[in-house]
Structure 1
Amino acid sequence: MQKLISTLRLLLLAGVLLSGAAAASDFVVIVSARNPVTALRAEQVAAIFLSQTGRFPGGEEATALDLPFGSPLRDDFYYKVAARTPALMKAYWTKMVFTGRAQPPRELPNSAAVRKMVADNPAMIAYIDRSALDASVKAIQVTP
């Protein structure tokens, strides 16, 4: 009986995860149109967003911006780029802040606000919904 309950819980969890993935939007990683970066590896993007580095590969300053905690786009981004679930991200930032090693990226309310801030500052990097992309920023290629 216990095995049946465990199996049902796993099936329910899988259904919730799959429905959440289907609801997630298509994101693009962006920098200012004035930033020379055109491509980064996923591990480089993750390092910037996890405050493991504050620089682009060429040495220029890199400052990450985030969407709000709980946003499906944010969850999708961290899962695909850093292989971390929302729970793992929360635990990561709790530890980093508690130990004084780093602060999480600044959060902005939506893709339009993020796009505007990135457009105005070549040092910033972020992710937005693909539908919010315009000429003020450029989508960079993120390779595995």
Structure 2
Amino acid sequence: MSINIYKKIGMMTFFYLAVMLSASAEVVLVTHSSNDATLDKKSVQRIFLGKAKKFSNGKEAIPINQVEGAAARNAFDSGILGRSSSQISAYWSKLVFTGKGIPPKEVESDADVINLISDNPSCIGYIDSSAVTDAVRVISLN
């Protein structure tokens, strides 16, 4: 093989990695600015998998998901829930089919998550870290 082929393969690999890295999102958990609940990763998993209905402070917890395929959703599902988005969909399909659960409300964008959360202190969601506004409080996991 000539040097040119190796250069082309190297450039193609570089561009592929650049595209993949730019598609990933750094997500943060957010809730209403007045919600003082503290959470750990396990609590968040329980809320988003329908196993818990309340925050640590005893107040109702309403999880908000982004639509399947959204970069923030993929990052949240794999990073916090420890499963792929397709595994989460299968999990909820099973619960819905057996009548044991209703999946979280899904919205289209970070802005939709912020709007819902700013209107309801019980909501919790996730957004890309670059989309954070004063309308929500970022939750640090304990």
Same fold (TM over 0.5): yes
Counterpart residue identity of residue 108, structure 2 = P
**2:61 maps to which residue?**
62
Query: What stretches of structure 1 move > 4 A for 4+ residues in a row?
Result: 19-22
Tell me the SS of whatever aligns to 1:142: coil
**1:52 maps to which residue?**
51
> Deviation at 1:22?
5.6
**2:41 maps to which residue?**
42
> Deviation at 1:97?
0.4
Tell me the SS of whatever aligns to 2:140: strand
> Deviation at 1:73?
1.2
With the length of structure 1 as denominator, give the TM-score of the two structures: 0.81
- Residue correspondence of structure 1 range 1-144 to structure 2 within 5 A: 23-37=23-37, 39-143=38-142
Counterpart residue identity of residue 67, structure 2 = P
Q: Extract unaligned runs of 5+ from structure 1.
A: 1-15
Tell me the SS of whatever aligns to 2:124: strand
**2:5 maps to which residue?**
none
Counterpart residue identity of residue 86, structure 1 = S
> Deviation at 1:142?
1.7
Tell me the SS of whatever aligns to 1:95: helix
Mark the CA change 1:100 to 1:67 in structure 2 (over 3 Å): closer, same or farther.
same
> Deviation at 1:77?
0.2
Q: Extract unaligned runs of 5+ from structure 2.
A: 1-15
Paired residues in the alignment total: 127
Tell me the SS of whatever aligns to 2:39: strand
With the length of structure 2 as denominator, give the TM-score of the two structures: 0.82
Tell me the SS of whatever aligns to 1:131: helix
Greater radius of gyration (CA): 2
Structure 2 CA distance, aligned partners of 1:131 and 1:70?
19
**1:9 maps to which residue?**
none
